Structure 1
Amino acid sequence: MNHQKPFSLLPTRQSLKVLLILVVVAGGLYGLTSAFAQDRRQTTRRKPQQQEAQLQPSALTQQGTSQRRSFQSPRRPQLSKVDSHVILAFNDLGMHCMNEDFEQLCILPPFNNLHAQVIRRGREPRIVDRNIQVKYRIPNNTTSVNKTNFWDFAPELFGVHLPADVGLTGNTLAGSMLATGNNDWSATGIPVTPIADNGALNAYPLAEVWAESQGQVMALTHAVVPVLWEISCNICHAPGMPGPVVDADILMKHDLKHNTQLLGGDSVLCASCHADPALGTAGQPGVSTLSAAMHSSHASRMQPVFDMGMTNECYACHPGFKTNCQRDVHYAKGIYCNSCHGDMHDVGNPFRIPWVDEPTCGSCHKAMNSEFHYEEPGKLFKESRGHGGVMCASCHGSPHAVGPAVTPQDNVQAIELQGHAGPISDCTVCHINRPGSKFEHHNFDD
């Protein structure tokens, strides 16, 4: 007897192109949504817990919403003169955008970085970079493998088989930081997602970072590890459809425009062809960088974003229109993304090196305080040091969250250490006695 395999509505990669065409032709068939939401390989692969959020134009603002209402600040006593050490921590990126679903493509994986500096308090404070341990953990965000399917597709995308909850650099959601040789400690590639263990969406997870010696905690602080997968490609690509169809629409349009054959094959790492310094990929000769390709190709196509009431086109992707990426003192003063970075044509300049050719603090502030020093030559804010080797971000806050921030999570460290938000300006955070000399804000200040 001839047994035929029953027909299934569950789309595979090979059939996705046909299904996508059917969706385009019969654009109102939302009954397909439940089929697309299932595993498209007809296996038991884990799928992201959160479905693509429905666009709500009435919620649009210049900055998005900041998830402030549900946040409760951790309680920790302020420093006293008997505390021997202080630890300062920061994230080196304003908001880490990542994909939620990786079956079709990957723009960015889960990859967050934390930095910390440990200072021995005294009349002459000293930075401690050896003979101690610096550790971190993210309370209520202790696992990621059940929140995204990244680990299923890491072999296709990056050529590595990663254990559950282990990121691309070998770090996990809790562990030890390594001394960098630059007066600080770091943990890179932390695979955190914006979904807490209780299922709540939280773009600003608050990490605990502490220093210890011989099992005794010397100092503890808190720092935000910002992350979100809101990237709102579905404003234009397959509006109203679930994430996998949106990604397939992106690949189909790329195939049509550039004569590629991406749709229906293995999951696509965009940075494998388009160079991306953020991932350390060199790309292919003659192919534009990922930043140049994304910004220049979309710069003239943002009218649907403006039609929705958005006044800042950056928030179509960075990270999306509902959440604050820029949430610092500049935003509070009416200085927005374009004020420093320029418009999308500027960012998409093919001669610009992404993540390297960035605005500097000194480009504006030098005119206000000409005697001050700002970034070290050839370095960005997040890499620069001053005042005895203290990182700029240790005192001022993470990029795009420079204090006082409009999000309470980003102000926790400053409030714990000095009792108020803003840059660490109280000398007694590190100095047991307040110095009598004036603070000059020079790179070589002690």
Structure 2
Amino acid sequence: MNRFATMIFGMALVLMAGTAIGAEEAAKHVVPLELKDCVKCHMQAVRDVNTRGGKHQTAVSCQDCHLEHPPMGTNAIPECGMCHDASEKAHYALENCQSCHNPHYPMEMDFTQIASVKPVCLTCHAGPGQEMQAYPSMHAQLDCKECHLTHGQATACNECHAPHSSDMTYQDCLLCHKPHMPLVVKYGDNLPSPLCGSCHGDVSQNLANTSRKHGALLCAYCHKGQHKVVPECSTCHGLPHGSAMHSKFPNCLDCHLDAHALDMPK
């Protein structure tokens, strides 16, 4: 090897050694990332988590999920199962979480681009599934996204169904109908009678015209709790005409013709 080649080879060895030593020294002086550093590059992600992140904002920090950051590490995107244990809930055992959830705002879900969401929904919302199974209706045959386009949103009844009266609101519908079992018509004791009258107009008119005390009662006072419940007159009135009369005429309506219009001519 001539003198020039020897010199070049020696310089290369020195340079390589210097580079190795430099890298080792640099590694000793790497400043670890802190939580406050995330926003410097990932401003939108931090803003999303802070304003829309739910428990991802309050229960964990960026570094609880993103354990490493390139180029110092490759474990930057966490698996959902790292926190959401499949043994705790059937929903956590599902795959492809990000088809519904954005980790930075996980509870804002748009279902419009997903073919079928019902099997997934029922892993969290077992109650509605049980209601639809126990009380079959046309609603039970629909995919959840037909009414719930996004998580937590519900399509108003009158967007698909003609209301019983022109002034009926979505909240009025919910006083009698539960969307997952709509054919079971149940209501509270304070249900406004005009809602009943929107279907039962003749009865409502008779009550409005009668001078008897029944006209001052809410429909739900007698027809308690559920549609088509018809009480016995004796529930409120006992046996006002004596046992002999009631034995001879057991059916009050043979004489009193219409409980909604007791002053109707006989």
Give the structure-1-normalised TM-score. 0.18
- Larger relative contact order, structure 1 or 2 (CA cutoff 8 Å, min sep 6): 1
Greater helix proportion: 2
**Larger radius of gyration, structure 1 or 2?**
2
Give the structure-2-normalised TM-score. 0.27
Greater strand proportion: 1
